[in-house]
Chains A and B, each alone.
Chain A
Amino acid sequence: MKKVKFLATAILVTVLFVSCSSDDDTPEPVNEEEVITTLTLTLAPNGGGTSITLQTQDLDGDGPDAPIINVSGNLATGVTYNGTLVLLNETVNPPENITEEVEEEDLDHQFFYTLGGGLDVTTAYTNFDSEGNPLGTEFTLTAGEASSGTLTVTLRHEPTKPNTDLADAGGETDIEATFNVTVQ
C-alpha cells in the first residue's frame, strides 16, 4: 500500500513538474546569412554615358514571392560595356554584400553568362581566380547587331575548373537569373 501511495505521489509530482516547466522566453529570430536576395548587373558603356542595370530581387528568399526582374534600358549596337556584378542579402539590416564572400572564395565560384533567343552580344571575363581561371564578377559585354533575346547569369558553387561552359562545369547552382535584353 505504501508503494502504491508512493507511486501515486511520484506521478502527481511529475505531472505538476511537467506542466509548470514551460517558460515564457520567446526564441530569437534567425536571419539567414547566406541568402542571396538581390543580383545587380551594372553595364557601364566604355566611352561614358548612362549605365544600364539589370536586377533581380527576391526579398523573401525561397518564400512564395517570385523575384522581381528589372532591366533599366536597351543596349546600343557596337558599344562595349564594362560589367560589374553585386550580390546582396537584403533580409538583414544593413544589407550584406555577398560579392565579397564570393571573391574571397574565388576558387569555389564562377559566374557564367549564357545568351539565348538570337541576342547578338559577346561576353568576356575580366577577373580571374588565384589560379588564373575565370571568376566573372567583372566582365565585358559587347553589343553587336540590333537584336533581342535573353541573357542568363548563373553562379556555380564548387564548379569543375577549368571548364568550357556551363555544360561541363558541374557544381551546384547558387544563382540563376534570366533577363530579357534588346540591342538597338
Chain B
Amino acid sequence: MRKYALLILLLSSIPSISQNCDNTLFGTITDLYDGSFLAGATLIVTGSEQTVQTDLDGNFTISNLCNDTYSIQVSHLFCLTKGFTIKVSGNTNKNFKLEHHLEELKQVTVKGKTYSNKSKTILENTISKEELERFSSGTLGDALNSLSGVSSINTGNTVVKPLINGLHSSRVVIMNNGVRMEDQEWGAEHAPNIDINAVGHLTLIKGADALQFSGDAVGGIIVVEAAKVPVKDSLYGKTLFTAATNGRGSSMSSELTKSYQSGLYAAVQGTLKYFGDFEAQEYILSNTGIFERNTSLQVGLNRFNYGIEAYYSLFKNEIGILRASHLGGAQDQIRAIESDRPLIINDFTYQINAPKQDVTHHLSRIKGFKRFDSFGKLSLQYDFQRNKRLEFDIRRGTDKDNASLDLKLDTHTLMLDLDSHLTDAISLKTGLMARYQNNFANPNTGVRRLIPDYDKYDLGIYAIVDYRLNHNLLVEAGGRFDYRYMDVFKFYRTSFWKSRNYEEVFPKIIVEELDNQILTNPQLNFYNASATLGATYDFGEGHKLFFNYSLASRAPNPSELFSEGLHHSASRIELGDLRFNSEIGHKISLTFQRENEKFSFSINPFINAISDFIVIEPTEIQQTVRGNFQVWEYRQTNAKLIGIDFDTSYAFAQNFRFNHQFSLVKGYDRSLDQPLISMPPANTKNEIVYQNLQFNNLRLALQSAYVFRQNEYPNNNFEVFIPETETMETVDLSTPPDAYHLLNFNSSIDFKVTKKSTLTLGLGITNVLNTSYRNYLNRLRYYADDLGRNFLLNLKFNY
C-alpha cells in the first residue's frame, strides 16, 4: 500500500513539476523612441540569475519558468538598464521597451544616424568624437562649420562664431554641459568660450524646439556635452597633439578618466594651444596669434535611480586681432580697403600685442537627479559662471597698457526639471528656471562703458509633451514662458540723450546730471512666450519625415539696448535703443531623411519669419575731431529667412564613400524690402573618403569646398572727402568678395601599441592649393586675405 502511495505521489509530482515550471517567456525588446529592435540585449531573471540574450531581431526566449511573478532586469549596451516585474502564467509573451541613451557613452559613432533626444521633431545634427578630434587645434566654430546649414561669422581665423541658418550671436543658444553659456555672446567678435577638446558630444538643433533649454533661440541651439563615463571599473585616457605649419604652433590636450562599478567616476582634462602669427597666401597676418589654456574637472556618482555630478571648467584665451584692422575714421578705412595687402605687415612673432582680447570663463555646475517610480526623473541643477573679458586697443600715454574694455559677467542659475513617462506612449518634460546675472564694467579703463552695469533676473517655466500615436507617428507640443527684469545703471552722453528725445520719453529714469553725462536707471521688464509643435512620421526602412513649428521670443540684449559710442574694432559708431521690445520668430522646418548604410540623405527646407527683428544698419556719417565715422543704428524690422540644407552620403564601392552637402539661405528685411546683411552665401562641400577597417583603420579624405559669391546684400557704402586728393571717395563696405574654392586633405591611420592602447597618426592639409581668398562673413575681409595653406600633423594616443 505504501509503495502504491509513493508511486502515485511520484507520478503526480512529475507532471505537476513539468506543468508548473516549464513555461516560456518570449517576446522582443525594442527601442522606446524609434521602435527599432535591439539585438544583444541581456535579460537576467532575478533569483535564478538565468541569463539570455536577444537575437539579431531583438527576440528572446526564457524557458523553465514557473507560474509565478518574476523580476527581470533588461540591459543593453546603449540603454539604461531597466527592471520589470512580469507575471508568468503558461507560455507568456511580453515585449519590453528600453530607453536609448547613446549620448551617455564615451564613444559616439554616428554613421548617418541621428539620435533625437533633445528634440524629437527636428532632425538633430551631431558631430562624432572622431570628427571633433580633427579640429583639435581649431575652435568649436570650425567644427560646427562642417555641418550643413552652419557657417560662421569670423574675426580673423581664431574668433569663430557659429551662424545657424543665417543667424548668430544672441540668437544662438549654446548649452555647455547643461549650462547655458553666458559669455557676452551678443558681440559678433566674441567667440564661444568653449574648449573643443572638452567636448564629447556635439548636437545642433536648427530651431528653438528644445524648450527645456531656452525659449529665445531664434536661430538654434548648440548642445555641448562632456564625454559620459561608463559604469564599470576602468581607467582610461587620451592625449592629442597637433602641430601646424600655419601659425607655427601646436596644441596639446589630455584627458584621464577613472570609473568604478559602483557608479563613482572622476575625469580631468586639459588643453594648451599656442600659435604665432598666421599666414595668408602671400603675407603674414601680423598680430593674429593665440594662446589658449583650458582645463575641466568632473566628479560624480551615477546610479540607475539617482546620481550627482560636479563639473568645473576654466577657459582662458588670449587672441591677437589683426594689427592692420585697427583704424581711425573713414579716411583710414578707404586706404585699408583699397590696398590689396594689409597696411601693416611685420615679421613673424609669437607675441600678442594690442589690439587683442583676453577672455577668462569659469563654469561650475552641480547637478543631482533621482528617479521616482511614480512620477519620473527629477533633476536639480545649480550653476555659476564668471566671464571676464578684457579688450586692448592701440592707446596713447599712460593708458597704453590699460584695457579699453573690462567686463565681468557673473551668472547664477538654478534649474529644476522633471522628466516623466506618463504612459508607454506619452512622456512629459517640465521644469523651472531662475537666473540672476550681474554685469560689472570696470570704470578704470578710461573709456566709457560699452555695456553698462546691470542686474538681470530671469524666471522660466516650461512643459513639453510627446505622444507616440503608433509605431510610425510621434507628435510633440511644448510651451514656455520667461520673465525678465533688468535693473540698469547707464551713463548717457547728454548730447545723445537730447538728440534721441529721451528726455521726454524717459523723464523718470534720471538719477543724476553731470557735466556732459547723465546717469540713468532704466528698469526693464520683458514677458516672453515660446512654443513648439511638431511631428515625426516613420515610413519604415529608415525613411522619416520631421515637421516642426517653433515660436521663439528673444528679449533685446544689452548691446542692442545700450550701445552708444565708437566701437573700435568695427571703426564705426554704434547706437542702441532703449525702447526695443522682444523679437519674435516663427520657424517652420521640414526634413525628409533616409538613413541607410549604403545611401543616406536628408533634405531640410525652412522658413523663419521674425517680427521686430533687431538689425544694425548705417544711418549717417558723423563728424568728429578724429574724422568721419559711419553711424550704425539698431532698428527693429520684420525679417524673413528662407533656405534649404541638403546632405547626402553614398558608399559607392567597398571602403569608399562620397559625401555631399549644400546649404542655401536667403534673408530679407521685409519693411525696407532689401536683403539682410551678413547672410551666408550658398556653399557646397563634396568629399571622397576611403576608409579601410581591416588595414589599420586607414582613412583618406579629400574635400572640396566651394563658396559662392553673395549676390544679395544691402548697399551700405558711403562717401567721404579725402583732403589729399580733394575728392569724394566711396567707402565700399558692402561689395562681397568673389566666390572661392578650397581643397582639403585629411588622413589617419591607427596602430595598436599595446593591448589597451592605440596610436592614431594623422596628416592633414587645409587649403591644399594655397588659394588666396576672402570670406564675406569674415569681419576682417576688408583688410587681409584669409588663411593660406596649412599642414597639420596629428598624434592621438588612446590608453
Q: Do A and B come from one complex?
A: yes
| Residue ranges of A at the interface with B (Cβ–Cβ < 8 Å) | 3, 7, 10-11, 14-15, 18-19, 21-22, 26-34, 36-39, 56, 58-67, 91, 93, 101-102, 104-105, 108, 114, 116-117, 150, 152, 154, 157-158, 165-167, 170, 172-178
What 4 A-B pairs come out closest when comparing CB atoms? A173-B328, A152-B723, A176-B627, A60-B495
**Contact in complex: A30, B448 (CB < 8 Å):** yes
A61-B624, A64-B493, A175-B626 known; 16 new pairs, CB 8 Å cut-off, are A3-B370, A7-B380, A10-B414, A14-B382, A18-B412, A27-B452, A29-B443, A30-B448, A30-B449, A31-B446, A34-B447, A60-B495, A105-B397, A116-B723, A117-B726, A175-B625
Cβ-neighbour of B399 out of A33, A56, A158, A174 (below 8 A): A33
The closest CB in chain A to the CB of B499 belongs to: A64
Cβ-neighbour of A91 out of B380, B516, B566, B724 (below 8 A): B516
**Contact in complex: B457, A114 (CB < 8 Å):** no
Complex alpha-carbon distance, A31 and B515, angstroms: 10
**Contact in complex: B625, A56 (CB < 8 Å):** yes
Given A30-B491, A34-B395, A170-B344, the answer on whether A18 and B457 have CB atoms closer than 8 Å is yes
- B394-427 vs A, CB cutoff 8 Å, 1 = contact: the mask equals 1111110000000000001010100000000000
**Contact in complex: A67, B625 (CB < 8 Å):** yes
The closest CB in chain A to the CB of B449 belongs to: A30
The closest CB in chain A to the CB of B442 belongs to: A30
Residue B489 CB within 8 A of the other chain = yes
Q: How far is the CB of A94 from chain B (nearest CB, A)?
A: 12
Q: How far is the CB of B768 from chain A (nearest CB, A)?
A: 34
Residue B434 CB within 8 A of the other chain = yes
**Contact in complex: B515, A173 (CB < 8 Å):** no
Given A11-B414, A14-B414, A173-B626, the answer on whether A34 and B397 have CB atoms closer than 8 Å is yes
> Can you identify 9 A-B contacts, CB atoms within 8 angstroms?
A26-B521, A28-B443, A31-B446, A33-B397, A34-B447, A91-B515, A114-B724, A154-B723, A172-B332
Complex alpha-carbon distance, A167 and B521, angstroms: 47
Complex alpha-carbon distance, A170 and B344, angstroms: 8
Complex alpha-carbon distance, A22 and B416, angstroms: 24
**Contact in complex: B434, A14 (CB < 8 Å):** yes
Cβ-neighbour of B626 out of A10, A62, A65, A66 (below 8 A): A62
Residue B86 CB within 8 A of the other chain = no
Q: How far is the CB of A22 from chain B (nearest CB, A)?
A: 5
- B319-340 vs A, CB cutoff 8 Å, 1 = contact: the mask equals 0000000111101100000000
**Contact in complex: A172, B328 (CB < 8 Å):** yes
Residue B73 CB within 8 A of the other chain = no
Residue B150 CB within 8 A of the other chain = no
Residues of A within 8 A of B570 (CB): none
Residue B656 CB within 8 A of the other chain = no
The closest CB in chain B to the CB of A15 belongs to: B434
Complex alpha-carbon distance, A169 and B118, angstroms: 57
**Contact in complex: B414, A60 (CB < 8 Å):** no
Residues of B within 8 A of A56 (CB): 625
- B724-738 vs A, CB cutoff 8 Å, 1 = contact: the mask equals 101000000000000
Complex alpha-carbon distance, A91 and B344, angstroms: 32
The closest CB in chain A to the CB of B519 belongs to: A26
Cβ-neighbour of A63 out of B328, B380, B395, B495 (below 8 A): B495
**Contact in complex: A173, B332 (CB < 8 Å):** yes
Complex alpha-carbon distance, A117 and B725, angstroms: 10
**Contact in complex: B626, A176 (CB < 8 Å):** yes
Residues of B within 8 A of A167 (CB): 724
**Contact in complex: B511, A26 (CB < 8 Å):** yes
Complex alpha-carbon distance, A56 and B625, angstroms: 7
Complex alpha-carbon distance, A12 and B515, angstroms: 44
Given A14-B414, A26-B512, the answer on whether A37 and B434 have CB atoms closer than 8 Å is no
The closest CB in chain B to the CB of A151 belongs to: B723
Complex alpha-carbon distance, A171 and B786, angstroms: 22
**Contact in complex: B443, A27 (CB < 8 Å):** yes
Residues of A within 8 A of B487 (CB): 22
Residue B110 CB within 8 A of the other chain = no
**Contact in complex: A105, B491 (CB < 8 Å):** no
Residue B751 CB within 8 A of the other chain = no
Residues of A within 8 A of B332 (CB): 172-173
Residue B623 CB within 8 A of the other chain = yes
Residues of A within 8 A of B416 (CB): 7, 11
Complex alpha-carbon distance, A126 and B495, angstroms: 38
Complex alpha-carbon distance, A150 and B725, angstroms: 12
**Contact in complex: B397, A18 (CB < 8 Å):** no
Residues of B within 8 A of A63 (CB): 493, 495-496, 565
- Interface residue ranges of B506-559 to A (CB < 8 Å): 511-512, 514-517, 519, 521
Cβ-neighbour of B724 out of A14, A59, A166 (below 8 A): A166
Interface centre among A7, A154, A174, A176 (most CB of B within 10 A): A176
Given A11-B432, A26-B511, A67-B623, the answer on whether A172 and B326 have CB atoms closer than 8 Å is yes
**Contact in complex: B370, A62 (CB < 8 Å):** no
Complex alpha-carbon distance, A29 and B520, angstroms: 11
- B175-189 vs A, CB cutoff 8 Å, 1 = contact: the mask equals 000000000000000
Q: How far is the CB of B3 from chain A (nearest CB, A)?
A: 63
Given A63-B495, A66-B622, the answer on whether A172 and B394 have CB atoms closer than 8 Å is yes
Residue B245 CB within 8 A of the other chain = no
Residue B153 CB within 8 A of the other chain = no
Residues of A within 8 A of B124 (CB): none
**Contact in complex: B328, A60 (CB < 8 Å):** no
Q: How far is the CB of A119 from chain B (nearest CB, A)?
A: 11
Given A30-B491, A32-B447, A172-B394, the answer on whether A165 and B724 have CB atoms closer than 8 Å is yes
**Contact in complex: A105, B396 (CB < 8 Å):** yes
Residues of B within 8 A of A105 (CB): 396-397
Complex alpha-carbon distance, A38 and B447, angstroms: 18
The closest CB in chain B to the CB of A69 belongs to: B623
Residues of B within 8 A of A18 (CB): 412, 434, 436, 457
Q: How far is the CB of A41 from chain B (nearest CB, A)?
A: 13
Given A26-B512, A30-B446, A32-B447, the answer on whether A11 and B327 have CB atoms closer than 8 Å is no
Given A63-B496, A114-B724, the answer on whether A21 and B436 have CB atoms closer than 8 Å is yes
The closest CB in chain A to the CB of B415 belongs to: A11
